[in-house]
Structure 1
Amino acid sequence: MTTVKEQEKIQEQFKERMNEDELLNCMRCGFCLPSCPTYVESGFDEAHSPRGRIALMKGVVDGLIEPDEDVERSLDLCLGCRACEPVCPSGVNYGHLLEEARDIINQNKKHSFPVKVVRKAVFHHLFPHQNRMRNITGLLGFYQRSGLQKLARNTGVMKLFPETMATMEKVLPAVPKMKEMKNRPEYLPAEGKVSKRVAFFSGCLMDTMFLETNNATVKLLQAGGCEIVIPKSQACCGALHGHSGEKAEGKALAKRNIQAFEEIKADYIITNAGGCGAFLIEYDHLLKDEPEWHDRAKAFSAKLKDFTEVLIECRLHENVPLSLPPAAVTYQDSCHLRNVMHTSSAPRRLLNAIDGLQFREMKDADRCCGSAGIYNIVESEMSMQILDYKMEQAKSSEAAIIATANPGCLLQMQLGIEREGLTGKVKAVHLADLLYEAMEYGIQTAETSRSATTAAAAKS
């Protein structure tokens, strides 16, 4: 509960820091309402819509509304999926308003001691340090490989945890060994003629828990003719900080990444995680008030691209055989990849290029799955409501494979598959892993076909 003094500080900061022009850009037309998952799932509660939240922010700025628990609750319940932005006729940058408001509230209220400790540990002592991320992930790997995981499940220990967390434990990927996580390349040559020189943003979770997806991504880029530089001094993108009211730490991480990448003469900076990409591509906005960094951030953001866009540009799907055994596949958009990076056609073009797969568009594929960083943990009830709707659409597509391009979305879809009892019938995969599997299978099939043709010609 915020005190009167805290509310006064928050209100003062709202007046100083919130972009009033942006708040006034909202025409209250309501075009955003159908696109907002929390508005729909809350029973069309205006306070849980983009229009309603902007009205609350404006009310606080004008001194008409106190920044109390109801205001904070409305902002906390927002997924930050930014599906409201593409449909807004006024072009309101809702995501920027939301992040600023959350940061103001977080920096001017007193958290309980346990919350303060957890936030400090996660935001300041874990994610900014890749070696610590490796160590924590290594402990998870030990849990999985040592027999502790089997023991925990057999003895019913997992039943002591909330249902969502217990189910999430079942769908976590097999963690690589510590040696694999430490021995990461800094340069990878292109296969054949060099078409692009790219820098790869490896990320924190992506280069630990989802290491195999990173490996698949760089192999695909190599096959497309890209030589790849992977700066060792890069850091966490800062998205988790920016979305959770830790803007100062997000800025510090942004500066580390800009420094790490700006000396590399690369055509593009590549990411394979929609959530990371959306935050990285807005470094210029994040550092807009720092003249010595803004131009450098702008140059960084201008080079950022999702790996699917680069694979299309390199014509991987035309130059490399992509094939898999017959199956139906659908695609779940990463909200930030679609709504912020504006990438939606490239993943679909690549899926349609895989021989053997039948692509089926899922209804409302662009609607959030409910993952949203750590939202599925801190707002489990709403997250599961949103996931239930998503799984209805996934089942209606009758696809055996659900592809996506963000680690959070991937885990959420795997969680949905487990909750629906579809394990073994439907699988969720990162698009990079699926494409790499298709490339390996396609090359093997082509070689087998050539060998058979050569043998037949020799006999004749």
Structure 2
Amino acid sequence: MSTIPEKTEQQTGPACESASLINSENGKLHKFNMDEILNCMHCGFCLPACPTYRQTGRESASPRGRIALMKGVAREQLPIDEEFENNMYLCLGCRACETACPAGVPYGSLLETARGVIEENKKSSQRPSWIRRIVFEKLFPYPKRIKALGTLLWAVQATGLQSLAAKTGLIKIFPRAMAEMQQASGKIASPFERKKRKRVMKAEKEKLFTVGLFTGCVMDILFYETNQATARLLTKAGCDVVFVENQACCGALHVHSGEMDLAVRLAKRNIEAFEQANVDWIVNNAGGCGAALKEYHHWFHGDPDWKERALAFVNKMRDANELLAELPSLTFGKPLPVRITYQDSCHLAHGQGIRNQPRELLKRIPGIEYAEMEQADSCCGSAGIYNLTHFDMSMRILDEKMENVKQTKAQIIATSNPGCLLQMKQGILRAGLQDQMEAVHVMDLLDRAMQSPHE
């Protein structure tokens, strides 16, 4: 039987336990980790790694510049104003600076704290926007509502309304970000297809493990077939796959937007759901979700009981690339004579440290020619909903990325995160390369190569 070493707490994300409490100007207490803020040596190694600094050249748009602003706010030398907010939210949160930093400053957690301070400060003086309330409070915490939205989107596609809007130009009534994104979106699974899913898919050979698949929220709507492909690959590698009931959104979008309380509620629901499932491993196929899921234990400061339960959850968590690379090799039945390159998901590479496994899996596919991309681990500009909230900056970063993509002369761009996948599809369209290449999730590509020549 294959064995996979357990992860320790030190291996799963930045530790932020000794947070210093700083009084804000409105008398409330906010948690800034001054030890980590002061660990920043302002050496500048992060500058070339930062997408927004490369685009603007502004110090305040760099990691060390933002940390300096955080220090000013924490010491009450700077106000929590619009300028501070704009600088914190201009950041993509890609965490490339963490990889570059010689001092190991956990910039991602500092950024989340800063955004939490911003949102708490705003709530004390004004009511959150209705869009924000709908997204964070009324939609993502409720899986049934997300599925209902998915059914609505499927109906729009199935009735031809999406195509009609594109052909007639009606799509232009929507913001440009949404208009361009819809062109890159794929076919959404019908509610009838989703109902056919079996709760448990059995291993096709000797069972090694029972794994619970973290299906995600938007992932299971926009990329339902990718989840199915992931499950099929795991069964072929010797795993029973359980589609665990009562799981919810991972909470990454919430914590990245300063909504820590809501993120913690979602984390508790997921921990409870997978505790009840009693699986050997928990597997996800979205780099952004996985980074959040592997850091759940850092979300429960001052709550030792939940922290212990969260740590048990984290120690079972694996990215699909990570687990498949360590299980017995898959047997591919269909050579793919294509040239492939790989775009790293920021939170998979910089957040989870998973770089080699996806590449190793791709190189196992018979017939492929692998071409490494220059700066493959630089951000593509997706970053959750960044390509909606900061469309122009996102597209500048994407266009820069596509220049590196072109140099590979690849026919397929593989990636391991749904946001990156949509962004790369959009990049292909913007570059006019839709007749020359396609963007594919690693799990879908592996599954494609698993099919026999007669399928």
Matched, 1:355 2:369: no
Q: Distance in 2 between matches of 1:289 and 1:314?
A: 37
Q: Deviations over 1:150-171 (max 9, x none)?
A: 2212221112333332121111
**What amino acid is the match of 1:325?**
L
Which residues of 2 match residues 74-89 of structure 1 at below 5 A?
74-89=87-102
Matched, 1:35 2:44: no
Partner SS for 2:440? strand
1:296-445 counterparts in 2 under 5 A? 296-317=309-330, 320-321=331-332, 323-440=334-451, 443-444=452-453
Q: How far has the Cα of 1:394 moved from its partner?
A: 0.3
Amino acid paired to 1:430: H
Determine whether 1:266 maps to 2:275. no
CA distance in 2, matches of 1:102, 1:393: 32
1:199-233 CA distance string (max 9 Å, x none): 11111112122100000000000000011222111
How far did residue 10 of structure 1 move? Answer: 5.1
Larger Rg: 1
* 1:96 and 2:82 aligned: no
The verdict on how the C-alpha distance between 1:135 and 1:50 changes in structure 2, with shifts beyond 3 A counting, is same
CA distance in 2 between partners of 1:402 and 1:392 (Å): 13
CA distance in 2, matches of 1:253, 1:115: 20
TM-score normalised to the size of structure 1? 0.91
* 1:147 pairs with 2:160: yes
Distance 1:293 1:415 in 2: 40
Q: What CA distance in whole angstroms lies between the structure 2 residues aligned with 1:316 and 1:13?
A: 58
- Whether 1:69 and 2:82 are equivalent positions in the alignment is yes
Q: Distance in 2 between matches of 1:269 and 1:199?
A: 5
- Amino acid aligned to 1:51: R
Kindly tell me: are residues 345 and 27 of structure 1, through their superposed partners in 2, closer, same or farther at Cα, counting changes over 3 Å?
Answer: same
Work out which of the residue numbers 284, 291, 301 in structure 1 matches 2:297: 284
Cα distance change of structure 1 residues 178 and 197 upon mapping to structure 2, 3 Å threshold:
same
- Rounded to whole Å, the distance in 1 between the matches of 2:158 and 2:45 is 50
SS in structure 2 of the partner of residue 149 of structure 1: helix
Q: Once the two structures are superposed, what CA deviation does each residue of 1:86-119 show, in whole Å capped at 9, x if it has no partner?
A: 2211111111111111012112215999962111
Q: Is the 8 A contact 1:322 1:353 kept in 2?
A: no
Q: In 2, Cα distance between the equivalents of 1:164 and 1:395?
A: 23
Do 2:250 and 2:289's aligned partners in 1 also have CA atoms closer than 8 Å?
yes
One-letter code aligned to 2:243:
I
Alpha-carbon RMSD across the aligned residues, in angstroms, is 1.9
Structure 1 runs (4+) deviating above 3 angstroms are: 8-16, 110-115, 322-325
1: CA distance between counterparts of 2:136 and 2:290? 19
Report deviation, 1:179: 2.0
After superposition, the C-alpha distances for 1:136-159 in whole angstroms (9 at most, x for unaligned) are 111111111102122212221112
Displacement after TM superposition at 1:344 (Å): 0.7
Amino acid aligned to 2:51: P
User: Deviation per CA, 1:37-58, whole angstroms, max 9, x where unpaired?
Assistant: 011111x211011101011000
Taking the aligned partners of 1:88 and 1:334, their CA distance within structure 2 comes to 19
Question: Structure 2-normalised TM-score?
Answer: 0.92
- Percent identical pairs in the alignment equals 49
Count of aligned pairs between the two proteins: 434
- Cα distance, 1:406–1:20 mapped onto 2, change above 3 Å: same
What is the CA–CA distance in structure 1 between the aligned matches of 2:73 and 2:252, rounded to whole Å?
26
The letter of the residue matching 2:382 is S
For structure 2, the residue ranges without an aligned partner over 5 or more in a row are 1-21
Equivalent in the alignment of 2:12:
none
Question: 1:37 touches 1:368 (CA, 8 Å); kept in 2?
Answer: yes
